[in-house]
Amino acid sequence: MPTSPVRVRAALLIGWLLVLALLGLYVARTLRVGTDLRSFMPPPATADQRLLMDQIGSGPGSRLLLVALDGAPPAKLADLSHGLAAALKQDSRFTQVLNGDFQPDSLPSALLPYRYLLSTTLDTHRLDAAYLHDQLQQRLEDLASPAGGMLETWLPRDPTLEVLKLAQRWSPPHAPEVRDGVWIDPQGEALLLVQTRAAGFDPGAQQDAIAALRKAFDDLPQRGAATLTLSGPGYFSVVINRQTRHQADWIGYISTVGFILLLLLAYRSPSALLLGALPIASGALVGLAALVTAYAEVHGITLAFGFTLLGVAQEYPIRLLSHRRAGASNLQSVRGLWPLLLTAIASACIAYLAFYASGVPGLQQLAVFTIFGLLGAGLTTRYALPHVLPERFVDVARTPGLARFRRFLDDLPRPRWIPLLVTVAVAAMLYFAPGSFWQNNLAKLTPLPMSMLKTDARLRAELGAPDVRYLLVLDAPTADGVLTLSQAMQPKLQALVKQGALDGVELPSRYLPSLAVQRERQDRLPDRAALEAALKRATNGMPFREDAFAPFVHDVETARALPLLTPAMFERSPLGQRLASMLVQRGADPRAKPQHAGATPTRSWVGLATLSGVHDPAALAALSAQTGGKVHLLDIKQASESLVAAYRSRILTALGVALLLLVVTVSVALRSLRRAWHVLGPMTLATFLVLAVERVAGVEISLFHLVALILAAGLGLHYALFFERETGDPDEQRRTLHATVVCVLSALLVFGMLAWSSIPVLRAIGLTVSLGVAFHFCLSILMAPHAERDDAAEK
């Protein structure tokens, strides 16, 4: 092939850049990034896992933000608390705002007559003359007491104080002290409980809500030096997100600069560096374009991991740059490399196909992105890059010191027992490693500063906010069935509270009684004539004006004819939001698969009772047996761990399948099982060696380690493939070594930086890939067969 004239090269380059720009434009216009962590979870298998997936983030506990105001005198903080609560109640991002303020009118006026159906009074009393006389006598005494002013306006409508009884019933069980009308803790902070509409583990939406909350606080007049402290699962997810991004960013900057310097040093040509970046840019854009075409929303984690995994593709242009030699055109060089590169690309793509089969939406996206990305980078390296690279270059085989390094490596002994030794060492290390093998606790990967956790524990205790770990699950075919069950459980749970098994429980029936109970209460309400007669007898001799209780008579008459209050009706009121989060329909998550034949498909409503201060989970778990499984304790930690374990077994299966496919691919490509062993042997052993070393160092293996192991294995496969390549030319061997060393150094640079991160996810990836690259490189050399032969030939 004749050398491309400069003009043709320039035209090709411009054309290439144009295509990239168009792709970029398409991606930028279509890309929608999602942040819901649920799409990185495997499909739930058990009922509890399914419930967890429905509830993770949207459950009552996880949508709660704990707010503390500090830095000013309590009276001032109380004003701020009132102001903040008023502002947030106007904001649709928040479904409930509590600050301790008692408002008898928190029940909307239209629902007020329902108080007779909601309160327990009518279970034990009738609105007859005797009861009313007793109540009204008390009200007279109340009126003459210092509290009289508080009640006076309510008495005509509510002489039996049902609204007050409901307010007491609905206030948090262990609320902090109220001063100046708001919750103030012993430290003098004003406390608020705010429930967001957004799911707790949707950092994007939480960030939005938290920003709105902070702005509402900042906009308060005369805020002065007062400060706002936040806590809760939603806030944590935002903090973790920000921290991770921040560290990843600055590590990224440093390693990019290092990477550029390394390539400049290796090829001594800025144009080679710039042009060498084109295939990986093409790969990234092709991958993104495939993603946005196939999926409406791309997950943020897919992008982060995807770009990490695409790092493998940087090898393709590096191989081409290093293997150019005098007397051969770029095209001839790339043709010589292509069979090996194609094998490497195909193997990696096959491995990621296994990811696609995992059934986890986030991993499937990752597979689509990486496969298309690798193909894009590989094909542009083969078919476009050689045409735009300048034909004048420095042959890297002449790099000073390279020949000596090669000789040093060649002189290393290559005993045949190395694989055996490594295998035994790996087995021994895995056997004696401390701690448990797998890290199932997702929370450990996303650590929070101790101070934050302490604040959370303190605020949670002050506010009597429920445990995040446990939920009591009530199953029934209908919403009303859940409420009936909830009522039946009430005395049993109260007994458990008395025994000290837990501190408190909040059942859905606390907010809304079942229809049957409501009907019973309704039936006990007297008709107008009877009530008026009873009132007349009850007030005989009392100083009340004759028509003082007309609004009461009217409300009772209304209540007698009311349609019973269903959850759907109640949930439309501001108070109903609390119930809505405790009473959910199963299968609200569209991803949930139909239940197994053995399960009970008729149970389709779930009540979630929040528990606080669980001391004896076993006693609560025993309720399950007593109720035939209709009520059971959901241990969110355990359910999420089992979910992670299920997730891992899917990944491991995928990896097993990928390994088999790799053996087949590499054997077919090299047309020799023996040669395939020389490639796959070092790769497999090095992978297990990384695992063993990390385990011996006390690292528990998480999903992120597995993803990183796969990336390292992809790199290792390249090293082994190229070292295994049969070639009698010492220059070509040096070029192979040069390319490999550049690759190893750049990988060590990028991932070694990550290994220093304080965030476990980044550290897991960085450490694993760095170790992997080092082990793959060493084992590829020590187990390469031909070096020994060449060594002998040279002698």
- Which residues, including other chains, have CB under 8 Å from residue 639's CB and lie 6 or more apart? 46, 48, 49, 51, 52
Q: How far is the CB of 161 from another protein (least distance, A)?
A: 11
For another protein, which is the closer residue by CB, 143 or 331? 143
Question: Minimum CB separation from another protein for residue 224, in Å?
Answer: 18
- By C-beta, is 144 or 792 nearer to another protein? 144
- Cβ atoms of 284 and 307 within 8 Å: the answer is yes
Residue type, 452: M
Nearer to another protein, 470 or 549 (CB): 549
Count CB-CB contacts under 10 A for residue 75: 10
Enter the tokens of residue 520: 């019973």
Residue 410 corresponds to which amino acid?
D
Least Cβ distance, residue 136 to another protein (angstroms): 11
Name which of 134 and 729 has its Cβ closer to another protein. Answer: 134
DSSP, collapsed to helix, strand or coil, labels residue 548 as coil
**Nearest approach, Cβ of residue 179 and another protein (Å):** 6
The alpha carbon of residue 733 and the mean position of all alpha carbons in its chain are separated, in whole angstroms, by 47
Between 39 and 160, CB nearer to another protein? 160
**CB of 173 or CB of 477, closer to another protein:** 173
Q: Please tell me the distance from the alpha carbon of residue 694 to that of residue 429, in angstroms, as a whole number.
A: 9
| C-alpha–C-alpha distance, residues 380 and 543, integer Å | 97
Provide, rounded to whole angstroms, the least separation between the CB of residue 157 and another protein.
11
315-323 helix and 361-383 helix, angle to the nearest 10 degrees: 20
Going from the C-alpha of 526 to that of each of 78, 114, 181, 404, 565, the distances in angstroms are 43, 15, 37, 105, 19
- Whichever of 155 and 670 has its CB closer to another protein, that residue is 155
Q: Which is nearer to another protein, 140 or 425 (CB)?
A: 140
DSSP-based three-state secondary structure for 476? strand
Cβ distance to another protein smaller for residue 44 or 159: 159
Asked if 405 and 737 touch (Cβ cutoff 8 Å), the reply is: yes
Shortest distance (Å) from residue 140 CB to another protein: 6
Strand-pair category, 33-34 with 298-299: parallel
Please, what is the minimum distance in Å from the beta carbon of residue 149 to another protein?
5
| Minimum CB distance to another protein, residue 177 (Å) | 7
Handedness of CA 692, 693, 698, 701 (dihedral sign): negative
530 three-state secondary structure: helix
Closest CB to another protein among 156 and 419? 156
Least Å from the CB of residue 599 to another protein: 49
Q: Rounded distance, CA 637 to CA 274, Å?
A: 49
Tell the smallest beta-carbon distance from residue 143 to another protein (Å): 6
By C-beta, is 150 or 588 nearer to another protein? 150
Distance of closest approach, residue 80 Cβ to another protein, in angstroms: 14
User: From the CB of 515, what's the least distance to another protein, in Å?
Assistant: 33
DSSP string of 393-452? ---GGG-TTHHHHHHHHHHS---TTHHHHHHHHHHHHHHH--S-SB---GGGGS---HHH
Q: Are strands 178-179 and 470-476 parallel, antiparallel or unpaired?
A: unpaired
Least distance in angstroms from the C-beta of 158 to another protein: 13
- Min dist. Cβ of residue 551 to another protein (A): 11
Q: Decide whether 102 or 756 has the Cβ nearer to another protein.
A: 102
Q: Hey, is 536 helix, strand or coil? A: helix
Q: Nearest to residue 325, comparing CAs of 5, 786, 730?
A: 730
Contact 212, 235 (CB under 8 A): no
Q: What tokens appear for 627 in the block?
A: 């109720």
DSSP helix/strand/coil, 635: strand
Q: State the residues that interact with another protein by CB under 8 A.
A: 102, 138, 140-141, 143-150, 152-153, 155-156, 177-181, 543-546, 548
Q: Decide whether 186 or 563 has the Cβ nearer to another protein.
A: 186
Q: What is the dihedral of CA 412, 417, 422, 425, to 10 degrees?
A: -120
Q: For residues 5 and 149, which CB has a smaller minimum distance to another protein in the complex?
A: 149
Nearer to another protein, 181 or 785 (CB): 181
| Count of CB atoms situated within 10 Å of the CB of 421 | 11
Listed residue (647, 234, 705, 693) closest to 444, CA to CA: 705
Q: Which residue has the tokens 């705002």?
A: 97
d(CA 347, CA 1): 30
Cα 281 to chain centroid, rounded: 28
Q: Tell me the closest approach of the beta carbon of residue 164 to another protein, in angstroms.
A: 10
